[in-house]
Amino acid sequence: MARMNPVSGVVLGLTAMATLWSVSAFANDELLSLQKDPKQWVMPLGDYSSTRYSGLDQINAKNVKDLQVAWTFSTGVLRGHEGGPLVIGNMMYIHAPFPNTVFALDLSQDGKIVWKYEPKQDPNVIPVMCCDTVNRGVAYGDGLIFLHQADTSLVALDAKTGKVAWTAVDGDPTKGETGTSAPMVIKNMVLIGNSGAEFGVVGHVTAYDTKTGKQLWRANSVGPDSDTLMDGEKTTALGKPVGKDSGITTWEGDQWKTGGGTAWGWMSYDPELNLVYYGTGNPSTWNPVQRPGDNKWSMTIFARDADTGMAKWVYQMTPHDEWDYDGVNEMILVDKEFKGKERKLLVHFDRNGFGYTLDRDTGELLVAEKFDPAVNWATKIDLKTGLPERVKEFSTEAGGEDTNTQNICPAALGSKDQQPSAYSPKSGLFYVPTNHVCMDYEPYKVAYTAGQPYVGATLSMYPPKGEENLGNFIAWDGTTGKIKWSVPEPFSVWSGALATAGDVVFYGTLEGYLKAVDAETGKELYKFKTPSGIIGNVNTYEYDGRQYVAVLSGLGGWAGIGMAAGLTGAQEGLGAVGAYQSLSQYTALGGTLTVFALPK
């Protein structure tokens, strides 16, 4: 019937109003539905489950070979570009490293700049950022764009105008606290985690009111239960109560006060369990001899109640770290059959080289297997105790101060760092960008001075003995803990992966290639060399009926530190390994967004 029934017209109108109302009232409801729309890319890791999976399939395994560059955009910043753009409706939001410029581009007007925000930040924050002035992206919610600046300020910008709605100051950069992580919006809250464990700061995650910027809760990684938001009786680790003040009793004296455990990585959220998940970083200092104890809760997976911040369960992967194996990498939430039973799982690829699968409701450890065969610091993880079975030869604690412990795999940057993986529900596989790097590690005594580096070890890094490639891009089965396929890369893969319904998986390389591989076999289907090395995360969206793939290039970060020399470029001192071509022979600096599409 062509003519509209007047009653249903009224009902429709009311429904539309109600929808609008709820959108402005509960950011969470809006995001819950937006994250399911494959045409948009509304949060850095794609959805609350951090799958980095898109249902779009216009670009697929058959036609991806025809991919072309559709348009490009320069951020005007030379430093390392981590993270990636968001796409909400016809708007794209791009961020840059320090000075943390944000651009809002209108896709309906050929990428016209609608607004630009450039904060004025004290440049003294630059040298207290451990590994370049990176930023992992902005978040959207409640009609606002949230930026976590280098100087720890959390700024809410009107998504339409770029006007500052409010600013909250999270920490003190003069003590070495900085901001690099992407915020996450949950319900009426925006959550951020801090950086600065190399400066002996105390790690924390803080929730702010999206409307006002008022602090709602803060959960420290170390210290008394009142700071860590733990309950000695109710908070569990592998099913057992953690006990009172575990964030103090596992440290010597007051060392927890400079204990680190920053939460500079990614967060995930399960709306049904109302739990937020994230990992904590290294304990300070890097010299294990100087800080006896398990150093809880550094190197830990946290499951916290989103409303109160109270910890439901924790799992410390690397107690008393001896290698800088931060636990901050992404937590991927999947519902899958495990041993014949449907389970709510959390899958995590840790810096320490083990791929963990846990029950995300209870924190039960189900699988822990090496995702790089080179890993040698531990033989295995005991699933009952959760403890790694350490190999004495590679223990820097056993070696002691002023002793160079050699051939430890992985290196401090981990078998995988913050670069997020992807999960395809179609193939059931996880796609993991990895580092294939080993190290020598010599701890020595350091003194703590507020705002100065508190490192306490010297490192040399190189590929595993007899090998030349510094990275692999792998497909992983999270239920069996086995590598399905592995593509060697000359350099560490420092870019976030994207899996799509078109059976294509995308990632970037340090030389600057955007690569597309077959989701089943890993076979390379397409590559294009962007203007600089890629440490950003690939995403995809659809606009006006056309699917696009977008990635930020711009070398830097941890990976850029080794750029001039090449991680192994100058091992004359060791006289081993064999020369490796330096990255500076392949690429140079500069932040650019490159957007790909199939020809019209």
Partner 1 sequence: MLSNGSRYLQFIAVATMATLISLTPGAHAQDSGTADAAEKPYRIDPDGTTDWATFNGFRRYNGNCLACHGPDGAGSSFGPALMESLKRLSYEQFFETVVNGKSDVNTATTLKMPALGTDRNVMCYIDDIYAYLKARSDGALGGGRPAKHDAKPPEAAEAEAACMAN
Question: Which DSSP symbol is given to 182?
Answer: P
Structure tokens at 273: 């369990």
Active-site entry in 142, 324, 350, 417: 324
| Interatomic CA distance for residues 188 and 352, integer angstroms | 35
414 closest CA partner among 492, 488, 477, 467: 492
Q: Which is nearer to partner 1, 285 or 427 (CB)?
A: 285
Minimum Å gap between C-beta 459 and partner 1 is 6
Strands 275-279, 268-270: pairing is antiparallel
Our CB check for partner 1 shows the closer of 69 and 564 to be 564
Angle at 251 between CA 248 and CA 252, to 5 degrees: 115
Q: Is 513 exposed, middle or buried (0-12, 13-18, 19+ CB in 10 A)?
A: buried
CB atoms closer than 10 angstroms to residue 340: 5
Q: State the nearest-atom distance from the C-beta of 556 to partner 1, in Å.
A: 5
- Return the number of other C-beta atoms located less than 10 Å from residue 58's C-beta: 16
Tell me the CA distances in angstroms from 283 to 263, 331, 427, one per residue in order.
11, 20, 37
| Nearest CB to partner 1, comparing residues 33 and 404 | 404
Distance of CA 374 to the CA centre of its chain: 23
Give me the sheet containing 482-489, strands edge to edge. Answer: 422-424, 429-435, 471-477, 482-489
Phi, psi of 544 (to 5 degrees): 55, 45
Contact (Cβ atoms closer than 8 angstroms) between residue 339 and residue 382: no
Question: Smaller CB distance to partner 1: residue 194 or 568?
Answer: 568
Residue 206 tokens, joined:
């803080």
Q: Which lies closer to partner 1 via its Cβ, residue 43 or residue 459?
A: 459
Minimum distance from residue 574 beta carbon to partner 1 (Å)? 5
The answer to whether residues 568 and 460 touch, using CB atoms and an 8 Å cutoff, is: no
Which residues of this chain interact with partner 1, rule CB under 8 A?
78-80, 98-99, 123-124, 126-128, 130-133, 198, 286, 402, 404, 440, 442, 444-447, 449, 452-461, 555-556, 560-565, 567, 569-575, 589
Which residue's CB is nearer to partner 1, number 62 or number 465?
465
Of 31 and 461, nearer to partner 1 (C-beta) is 461
- Closer residue to partner 1 in complex, CB, 134/306: 134
Min dist. Cβ of residue 462 to partner 1 (A): 9
Distance of alpha carbon 359 from alpha carbon 366, whole angstroms: 7
CB-side neighbour CA atoms (13 Å) of 513: 17
* 3-state DSSP assignment of residue 290: helix
- Paired sense of beta strands 236-237 and 311-316, if any: parallel
The least distance separating partner 1 from the CB of residue 573, rounded to whole angstroms, comes to: 3
In the complex, the smallest distance separating the C-beta of residue 553 from partner 1, rounded to whole angstroms, is 13
C-alpha span between 524 and 159 (Å, rounded): 38
DSSP β-bridge partners for residue 537:
496
**Helix (H), strand (E), coil (C) string for 422-448:** EEECCCCEEEEEEECCEEEEEECCCCC
Nearer to partner 1, 193 or 456 (CB): 456
Q: In the complex, what is the shortest distance from the CB of residue 165 to partner 1, in angstroms, rounded to a whole number?
A: 27
Determine the residue type at 160. Answer: K
Q: How far is the CB of 123 from partner 1 (least distance, A)?
A: 4
- State whether residue 30 is helix, strand or coil: helix
In the DSSP assignment, the letter for residue 257 is G
Per-residue CA distances from 351 to 279, 424, 479, 547 (Å): 11, 22, 19, 33
| Residue 588: count of CB within 10 angstroms of its CB | 13
**Smallest separation, CB 509 to partner 1 (Å):** 16
Q: Specify the residue, 32 or 131, whose C-beta has the smaller distance to partner 1.
A: 131
Q: Please report how close the Cβ of residue 128 comes to partner 1 at its closest, in angstroms.
A: 7
| Both structure tokens of 242 | 């953690």
Q: Is 321 a catalytic residue?
A: no
**Closest among 434, 238, 243 to 354, alpha carbons compared:** 434
Q: What single letter denotes the amino acid at residue 97?
A: P
Give me the active site residues, please.
Answer: 324
